[in-house]
Amino acid sequence: MTFLTAALYKFVELPDFAELQAPLLACCESHGVKGTLLLASEGINGTIAGLPEGVHAVLAYLRADPRLAALEHKEAWAEHLPFYRMKVRLKREIVTMGVPEVHPALMAGQYVRPQDWNQLIADPNVVLIDTRNDYEVSIGTFKGAINPATHSFSELPGWVEQEMAEGGKLAATDGKKPRVAMFCTGGIRCEKSTALMRSKGFDEVYHLEGGILKYLETVPQAQSSWQGECFVFDERVAVGHGLAAGHYTLCRSCRDPLSAQDRQSPLYELGVSCAHCHGRTTEEQKNGYRERQRQVELAEARQQAHIGVRQPGST
């Protein structure tokens, strides 16, 4: 296990976020670190990977900014570098919800430690909500969790409004709103989700500190309420208890996670399509994907990088 992966985020006021982009990218590249970092006025979010000394150097650089001194991160190890390039992007939000009045740095719900999570979600009066997207939930979630079946995080506010209506899962009983527990992969989406809930008058709102990844790292499998694997946004695709690599691969066309059974489908073609997306792409597009896959295989046979190689004159 040669390469260290660090997932990080922090909601904090960064009015000068655009000025941080270039020096941060230069720091990452000088230390051989790859991945994606997002900067916005509300904070920083992303995942980076590289040799341990390089990743720790970038983390130290970030924490040298007093506003990011308390930045936390989660570590995992991989045999292969899980990213092909380094990107530092400027965004309106570090995780897009599209509700400007929600400020997680000021309004987020109450953290619950992974070791206390099971007790909370075992309470039948707690509404447990998975804030991730449907394709993520499909490969693993907590027992008894509600799946809002969203395709993007920005759909969650609409789902909340719908479920607050009479007869919905978030409807008030005798004028009292239910207790709500929310979770996501690393903590960032549930932190923003609980801020949304508080903005709508929910007083007892909780979220899993460190997200699913911290839970899988901390809670022994024998005591776990987690079922399945956890989708991650890098080449590992999914992880299990102890953050061990999972059993899923990624469709290079639609980016959905694929199980061994999915890969047995007659509609699955490596690098080209799967049963989820086969009918959504044209034959011309598939031929383009086939050529891309051919180039990837040629590069691998030559032990050369293909994806992410910066070409002369590119930026």
Instruction: Annotate 82-105 with b (16+ C-beta within 10 A) or e (fewer).
Output: bbeebebeeeebbbebebeebebe
User: Where does the chain have alpha helices with state H?
Assistant: 17-30, 52-63, 104-107, 114-121, 134-137, 156-164, 188-199, 211-218, 283-301
Record the tokens describing residue 304, joined without a space. 């050369």
Tokens of 159: 């789902």
Biggest CA-to-CA distance, the chain: 68
- What CA–CA distance (Å, rounded) separates 208 from 214? 9
Of 27, 28, 184, 251, the catalytic one is 184
The residue type at 145: A
How far apart CA 286 and CA 43 sit, in angstroms, is 38
CB 199 within 8 A of CB 101: yes
27 an active-site residue? no
SS3 250: strand
SS3 at position 116: helix
Whether the Cβ atoms of residue 127 and residue 170 lie closer than 8 Å to each other: yes
Q: Report the alpha-carbon distance of residue 300 to residue 311 in Å, rounded.
A: 18
For residues 214 and 204, what is the distance between their CA atoms, to the nearest angstrom? 22
Positive/negative CA dihedral, 5, 259, 136, 249: positive
**Cβ–Cβ under 8 Å, residues 198 and 107:** yes
* Burial class of residue 156, CB neighbours in 10 A (0-12, 13-18, 19+): buried
| Residues labelled as active-site residues | 184
